[in-house]
Amino acid sequence: MGEEKREATLRYLRSKFAQYYQTRPLHLPPRFGRREFGFILFEGGFVLRHLGFPKEATLYRYIRSKSPAHVYHSAAYYETPGAPTMAEKGWMGADLIFDLDADHIPGWQKMGYPGMLEAVKGQVIRLIDDFLVGDLGFREDDLRIAFSGARGYHIHIRDPRVFTLESHERREIVDYITGTGLDLQLVGRREPFEERTFGGQTRTLKRFRIPMASDPGWRGRTTRGISQWLETLSELPEEQAIEALRQLEGVGPKRAQKIYGTLQRLGTDGTRARVETGHLEFFPPGSGASLVAQGVEYAKGATDEPVSSDTKRLIRLMGSLHGKTGFSVVPLTREELDAFDPLTDAVPALYEHEKIRVETPQAIVTDMMGETFNLEPGQNSVPEYLAIFLMCRGMATLASGMAGDATEGPT
């Protein structure tokens, strides 16, 4: 019976995907005839790849005949994209791809799906504004952003200057964004600020000086990261904040207590003003390197390094459906990204609001289309859009008696 339910569920999903591909246009990448395409069908978990489509009509016909669970295309351009081996394809160049998923966000497991999606969007905005457009100087017109259809976002950079970059050169870009290999000595320095004479001996006192927050690149970014870290500390309970301060080199219990008191006295605005002008005299000079490391941790960008450095990577086709959610892979401009809500905007319009019955093995609480759903174990009547999401996620099956409605769509 379990296998029958699974098959009925898959038939239902295939029918909805088939309906979608009959009526919804896809967003084909430029020079799609030079791209390799890959597919995962509902019937199996392996990728059908090494396929090329010289004409748009041929690609559409293939997708509509297969109604695949997942559709991919290569970041690379090839002389012969349909050749059976990579060596025979004739690599010509590739877009630069950034893939940011929720599992790059610290503590994502505890956020819940809506919170996780909001957190990862914030990281994508930082990646674009601070690094790709900000520091690296890419034009927004050369960026194509897409919600992945599940837990994250993809950014395609189609600036001709990146097309022929090799894997190690792409990795250097990722290293810059993530602060990997950053020489902390270039970010901050110890400097003399006072001389004291006692018993005929002159002693030079030093303090750790960090760059101005307005400085370009990682110098200013690290200072802004330190400021964010200290603001976070000021919102923690005193015991937790002091424990965090004690992790810095040269900061013991008494010094941590003193620093915490100074932060409280200065307040958020006063602390930020001190930090962003480079003055950290209330920290011991020996704590400088570990303090800078905290700033780097707060200021760094996030991305999936293997994806960006892979010159032959397959990436999801914009406009296609994600087989593990039923959501669309939605193309976005930078302006559209700010207000984008995947739990509403990525739900295909053809999914009905009329209810169907599904069986859920356990209790589920989830949000979608502006509603919160509390489902008990067993049979539940839910809107079709939620049913498709739960079935794609493996959290529900089509209820007994609904199987007759799960007919195959047109091919």
Distance CA(105)–CA(123), nearest Å, equals 8
* Whether residue 405 lies in the annotated active site: no
- What 3 state SS string does 338-375 have? HHCCHHHHCCCCCCCCCEEEEEECCCEEEEECCEEEEE
Distance of alpha carbon 351 from alpha carbon 78, whole angstroms: 37
Q: Are 287 and 248 in contact (CB under 8 A)?
A: yes
Q: Is the dihedral of CA 284, 290, 292, 298 positive or negative?
A: negative
Tokens of 91: 């690599």
What is the token pair recorded at 158? 């189609």
Has 304 been annotated as catalytic? yes
Identify the H or E element spanning 322.
Answer: none
Catalytic residue among 99, 129, 159, 175: 99
State the catalytic residue, choosing from 103, 183, 304, 345.
304
Backbone angles phi, psi at 197, to 5 degrees: -115, 130
Q: How far is CA 172 from CA 126, 168, 308, in A?
A: 19, 6, 10
The first and second tokens of residue 156, run together, are 């395609």
DSSP alpha helix (H) spans, 32-105 = 56-66, 86-89
The CA-atom distances, in angstroms, between 312 and each of 78, 97, 99, 144 are: 10, 10, 14, 18
129 is annotated as an active-site residue: no
Q: What are phi and psi of 106, to 5 degrees?
A: -55, 130
The structure tokens listed for 338 are: 């700010």
Catalytic residue of the set 101, 129, 142, 159:
101
Angle CA(5)–CA(354)–CA(385) in degrees, nearest 5?
65
How many Cβ atoms from other residues are within 10 Å of residue 84's Cβ? 10
Which residue numbers are catalytic?
99, 101, 304
